[in-house]
Chains A and B, each alone.
Chain A
Amino acid sequence: MIATQSVNGRTYRFDSLVDLLAKATPRRSGDELAGCAAGSEAERSAAQWALAEVGLNTFLSETVVPYETDEVTRLILDRHDRAAFSPVSHLTVGGLRDWLLDAAARPDAASTLTALAPGLTPEMVAAVSKIMRNSDLIAVARACQVVTGFRTTVGLPGTLATRLQPNHPTDDLRGVAASILDGLLLGCGDAVIGINPAGDAPQVTADLASMMDEVRRRYEIPMQSCVLSHITTTIGLIEAGVPIDLVFQSIGGTEATNSAFGVSVGLLQEGYEAGLSLRRGTVGSNVMYFETGQGSSLSSEAHLGTGGRPVDQQTLEARAYGLAREFRPLLLNTVVGFIGPEYLYDGKQIIRAGLEDHFCGKLLGVPMGVDVCYTNHAEADFDDMDSLLVLLTAAGVNFVITVPGADDIMLGYQSLSYHDALVVRHALGLGCAPEFAEWLGRQGIADPDGTVRGLELGASGLRELTGSIR
């Protein structure tokens, strides 16, 4: 595909779909680093006009990453649902934007968009996001409903769930438990209590998983736990009888990215089946937890597509969601500001990427959460994170990541605090997952009407939580 477009008296030429997608992408440092970004705002604007004219059928005949050499492309195209696609098959990318905004404004928006999801490919969704403003991304994402369950139900309208992330630099069990206690008292943990282990030994993961299971059973908490180890470690622990709730893996949008993560579609399927075999969910059977983030392909030099050209990082990110949805995950978390300023330079780029990722995932039918976060070498601060949290909450994000005092002492970056979740739930009138809300009510952490208020340690029956942990 070759496109030309004139803007403000100058004509620009785009010599492939890969080129057009990259140049139509709102500015970000990762695409500039990869050498695929538009050279000027005028060229970007021309690319957006040209992209808006591309028919959606083009995405089924012209691949961004070759079918022959990439199993993610094969999965996306082989599983494409033509019947679900039919309501929009005659449209261009620009036409799809209007169609989505129109659908989102109707009372039956959720069912319409759910039915459409299997008919859209990640590349179509990425393309339309590039010509949507932040408010468009919010309006359509808010109309999507992706509800999943394990021991809690995540993604219901009117709720905002949280991952409680009690990381510790030496995986000290009492230190981890102290951060869990702090989070529970502030009403966090209804999406998952999930630990990034500092050590990669399987025994570390086993000890953390066992400790969390003990806490869950002792206090009869409707929750799921996860230790974010490599999927092969988790599969081994499942075979060894360790109490595993969710199967975690980082994934990316190309076969080469996944190779760098040490996974393949086949291995993900194996982990999925191992998780399902345990039948530990009570209200649902979604057992997978994925993490992704724009820039992961470029950072492992796995970002080249058709014709050997760099594919923009946002399109590759959307492809990761196309892979994820095959495994009916409970949660997918885009770690949007974690990867560093060479991929997303400042608060503006992080905010834009967070809204794009959430929109693309939701439209593809993925239960999206976002790690609203930044590193100290990015041009961002706590105010940027406050803004992104409110925008994502308006967009209906399923869950966000929370850590004590916003400071992850193991990974060395800032996410949201437990308090931030309390504030936004209160300001926007949102509750948490219903099963968890009921438990919080019994603990005196939430009011009978579901309003999460938090509770002081001295007044809580949980105060001995860390006592039995060695």
Chain B
Amino acid sequence: MSALPAGNPDPWAPLRPTTQARIGLGRAGMSLPTAAVLDLQSALAAARDAVHVPLDADALVANLAGLGLGDPVVLSSRAGDRSTYLRRPDLGRLPDGLDALAAGPWQVGIVIADGLSSRAVSDHAVEQVRALQAALDGLSIAPPVVVTQARVAIGDWIGQALGVETVLVLVGERPGLSVSDSLGIYLTHDPRPGRNDAERNCISNIHPPDGLGYATAAATAARLVHGARALGRSGVDLKDTAGAALPSGPDDPA
């Protein structure tokens, strides 16, 4: 069969709500039917585009400037292009042109990194920063720093250069076939080069309307920032009911 005959009920219908897995796709001979194959290609195209489409930093800066957090700064990592970025995670963790940043009397720094999905950043970063601004009311926030070809640990250098007590890195997460615009927030207290992933806390899967919403993510981030300030450190010792430290695997954009 290549498609369900019109008017025939889908026998898989009662099971589909139990999983997003691509079950009950039907068959054309031994193979996937046309619609299922083309659907996979479309999902793959979206995921691949999310990885390879460069971040439109100018548009992002223009929108961030309207938030009143000061003039955003744009940096790049030492991975000069996407191909280098994907092959050399070490270069993606090192900033280029760090002397463009000056230290100030801020408590929190916000770094926006394209990571593995520029779409996640284009679609969600500005609104997420706005929500963080509201949730972190009472704490001073440095002008946002946008970094391209960047991995999470680049925030350690930037946070140190800004002189902030806690840095939040908003990063595009590795795209899957079902979701290609997922944003993550990594929190590091007392940021400095050499911090490891066990010293960070992560809020992942931010992609409303299907994933975590901005306000919820910001509220969690605010609780973690206050928790880290009280504890004096972030990472595995810092717990929150809405988000715990996640160890980083080789596929994470750390």
Contact = CB atoms under 8 A, between A and B. Distances in A.
A409 B47 contact: no
Contact of A407 (B31, B40, B51, B251): B40
B35 to A, nearest CB: 11
Contact of B251 (A32, A340, A345, A426): A340
- Interface hub of B18, B30, B87, B251 (most chain A Cβ within 10 A): B30
Contact of B174 (A295, A342, A376): A376
A409 B44 contact: no
A376 B175 contact: yes
Contacts of B25: 404-405, 419
Determine the main DSSP class of B at the interface with A: loop
Given A340-B250, A414-B44, A403 B15 contact: no
A299 interface: yes
A74 B90 CA distance: 32
Given A178-B23, A403-B21, A405-B22, A299 B250 contact: yes
A407 B22 contact: yes
A377 B178 contact: no
B20 interface: yes
Interface in A32-56: 32-33
Given A172-B18, A409-B19, A419 B30 contact: yes
Contacts of A176: 19
Contacts of A169: 20
B48 interface: yes
B27 interface: yes
Contacts of A419: 25, 27, 30-32
Contacts of A406: 22, 40
Contacts of A178: 12, 15, 18-19, 21, 23
Contact of A179 (B23, B32, B41): B23
B116 interface: yes
B86 interface: yes
Interface stretch (A12-20, A111-119, A223-231, A455-463): A455-463
Contacts of A270: none
Interface string A429-458: 000000000000000000000000110111
Given A33-B88, A412-B174, A457 B11 contact: yes
Nearest to B32: A419
A406 B25 CA distance: 11
Nearest to A466: B15
Interface string A408-425: 010011100101001100
Interface residues of A, number: 54
B113 to A, nearest CB: 15
B43 A377 contact: no
Contacts of A179: 19, 21, 23
A159 B177 CA distance: 31
B97 interface: no
Interface string A297-315: 0010000000000000000
A376 B176 contact: yes
Contacts of A338: 251
Contacts of A412: 174, 176-177, 251
B243 interface: no
Contacts of B251: 338-340, 375, 412-413
Interface in B57-111: 86-90
B6 interface: no
A182 interface: yes
A6 B103 CA distance: 55
A62 interface: no
Interface in A157-197: 166-169, 172, 174-179, 181-182, 186
Interface of A: 29, 32-33, 166-169, 172, 174-179, 181-182, 186, 295-296, 299, 338-343, 345, 375-378, 381-382, 403-407, 409, 412-414, 417, 419, 422-423, 426, 453-454, 456-458, 463, 466
10 contacts: A32-B87, A177-B18, A179-B19, A339-B251, A340-B250, A376-B176, A405-B23, A405-B25, A407-B22, A423-B30
Given A178-B19, A295-B250, A343-B250, 4 more contacts: A168-B19, A403-B21, A405-B22, A419-B32
